[in-house]
Amino acid sequence: MSAVCDLNYLSKPKFDEAGRQRSLDRLNVANSEVEAPFEQIVDLVKATLNAPICAVSLIDNDRQWFKAARGLGVNQTPRNIAICDHAIRAEEPFVIEDAARDPRFADNPLVTGDPFIRAYLGIPLKMSDGYIVGSLCVIFKEPRSFTTHEIAILQSFANLVVGELELRTIAFTDGLTKLMSRKAWRDRVQAEIDRAERYPTELSIIVLDLDHFKKVNDTLGHDVGDLVLRKTAAAVNAVLRKDDLAGRLGGEEFAVCALHAPQDVGLAVAERIRARIEALEFPEHDGLACSASIGVAVFEPGLGVDDLLKMADLALYEAKRSGRNQVRQGVALAAEGQSAAAMNPADLSLLSALGGA
């Protein structure tokens, strides 16, 4: 029995590409090393369906990147020729029985040239957040149809791929607050900084530290402290714009990368975060209040994530010293004549002493 896909997908409403890209970015998978689970899956698919080519294709901003592949001589292609880009837009099994006779693909260089695609079956990789980040596909060099059984088999393997990708989300997520972990956040922000160097844009780094948090743990216990941290994370998420990145750096310290945010926007986002945290209520703990001191650093060409964190940390220290529960802007490193690696040890010890204060 032959199965065909719904070719009316082009008339469906435009999907949320920005949200889809964020979902992919959260996996922290781009350009990652070869990993055995994905290699094993494509080997099994290739053998089970007797396919000459099989790939786990992830659709990035402007490219298709293969997390694992067999039968292909490249690890990526431009997105504008990727048949898998059509698969993620279809949002269901995508079937091409003869690409050379399909007007959408007949002149595609992947059809007219290597790998000479004729028949294609792709299953979208839909993550738990609802976004599709790529596809698991098989490719044949001769025209053919696909049975419902074959589609079901590939769907089962695609579910395994999604499971492996979801494990990455768990590994790079802070268990308590569900924000990005420190490492995941730093890696994502450095990627945004690298992008800002290539395609000039503005971004701000916001670092916040809860005031008097140690007293909460000491007097009310760690369960209440954990509640405060979870509510703080929710407060931060509630005011973020769709492209902003939030992470927990450790303890009671959080960070936000506000994208497309010059100085005034970064400060405005920081103030909204401060106000939201100050407004938190704890009805089950009478008298418990929450506030945060916040430092903001604005990206300048040549600065890395550590430089910006240092600038924001020093501004946060100034906010603590000036009375807490306020926002301060960091001073450019060039003006201080310092680098992140050369931060004054006295500054570090003061920040450590004030942490949670």
Position 243 confidence tier, pLDDT thresholds 50, 70, 90: confident
Q: What range does the domain containing 261 cover?
A: 182-354
In the numeric block, which tokens belong to residue 94? 């995508």
Q: What is the CATH number of the domain that holds 257?
A: 3.30.70.270
Of 243, 170, 239, which Cα lies nearest the Cα of 20? 243
In the numeric block, which tokens belong to residue 128? 């738990």
- Identify whether residues 230 and 350 lie together within a single domain: yes
Domain count, the chain: 2
Q: Burial level of 242, CB count in 10 A (0-12/13-18/19+)?
A: exposed
Q: Kindly state whether residue 125 falls inside one of the protein's structural domains.
A: yes
Q: Kindly state whether residue 177 falls inside one of the protein's structural domains.
A: no
Per-residue pLDDT at 199: 84
Q: What is the mean pLDDT of the chain?
A: 88
In the numeric block, which tokens belong to residue 352? 């450590």
- Identify whether residues 196 and 92 lie together within a single domain: no
Q: Kindly state whether residue 1 falls inside one of the protein's structural domains.
A: no
pLDDT digits (tens, 9 = 90+) for 70-128: 999 999 999 999 999 999 998 899 999 999 999 999 999 999 999 999 999 999 999 99
Strand partners, 295: 207, 328
Cα first-last separation, the chain: 69
Position 332 confidence tier, pLDDT thresholds 50, 70, 90: low
Task: Examine the fold and report which residue of 137, 171, 205 is the final residue of a domain before the chain moves on.
Answer: 171
Position 146 confidence tier, pLDDT thresholds 50, 70, 90: very high
In the numeric block, which tokens belong to residue 354? 């004030």
- Identify whether residues 275 and 299 lie together within a single domain: yes
In the numeric block, which tokens belong to residue 171? 């590994």
Of 63, 340, 303, which Cα lies nearest the Cα of 192? 303
- Identify whether residues 163 and 230 lie together within a single domain: no
Per-residue pLDDT at 357: 63
113 or 23: which leads in pLDDT: 113
- Identify whether residues 190 and 166 lie together within a single domain: no
Q: Kindly state whether residue 176 falls inside one of the protein's structural domains.
A: no
Taking the whole predicted model, whether its pTM rises above 0.75 is answered as: no
Task: Examine the fold and report which residue of 152, 171, 190 is the final residue of a domain before the chain moves on.
Answer: 171
